[in-house]
Amino acid sequence: MSRQRYWKLTTEEVEKLSYNEEKLLNWDIKCTLEPEEDAQIIGVFQYKEGTPLDYEEIKGITCYHNNLSKELVSKLTSFLKEKVGGEELEKGSRIFFQNSKELYSGKDIAALAKELEEKFNAEATITLEFQNLTQEEMNEGGLPDAKLLPIPGK
């Protein structure tokens, strides 16, 4: 069982990809808001098997935030609730959208990243992690070799 992580992808790169969606394990969109010196960060991610919340796996999209005002957190939560639905659960700086719409295509993930960039005046970078992609699937999917970060293991 091999895993491959593609990191520091742009929205433009991701929207062109046509990988095997069943092999996508998780994805993450990290947005850094302007000005960068304020270290305001929004992250939106999804784990195929669910995101841990205490001892339970929560299916759906999750977001996290760093150094955001309550007003921006509220704006983020409302935006995501409108986009993906789900029941909101909060723990620390993470907000879970339990049983929300799940995204697997590069086109859908890139579209969400673009909307986050526009709405929050941010720059997004995307990470995609796959399991058991063959070299042929990587090539056919348009996954860039230069952004591959192999994950050691079995």
pLDDT, one tens digit for every residue, the chain (154 residues): 689 999 999 999 999 999 999 999 999 999 999 888 899 999 999 999 999 999 999 999 999 999 999 999 999 999 999 999 999 999 999 999 999 999 999 999 999 999 999 999 999 999 999 999 999 999 999 999 999 987 876 5
Residue among 101, 76, 98 at smallest CA distance from 88? 98
| End-to-end CA separation in angstroms for the chain | 6
What is the C-alpha R_g of the chain?
A: 15
Amino acid at 53: L
Contact 73, 65 (CB under 8 A): yes
Distance CA 138, CA 143 (A): 5
pLDDT score at 2: 86
| Residue-level pLDDT at 112 | 98
Structurally, the chain folds into a number of domains equal to: 1
Contact indicator for 147, 8 with CB cutoff of 8 Å: yes
Q: Is 128:27 a contact under the CB 8 Å cutoff?
A: yes
Confidence (pLDDT) at 150: 74
Do the beta carbons of residue 9 and residue 128 sit within 8 Å? yes
Of 104, 100, 98, 103, whose CA–CA distance to 58 is shortest? 98
Position 1 scores a pLDDT of: 64
Q: Looking at residue 108, what is its pLDDT?
A: 98
Is the pTM of the predicted complex or chain greater than 0.85? Answer: yes
Which domain, by its residues, includes 74?
3-151
> What is residue 152's predicted lDDT score, i.e. its pLDDT?
74
For residue 78, what pLDDT is reported? 97
Pairing of strands 60-66, 24-33: unpaired
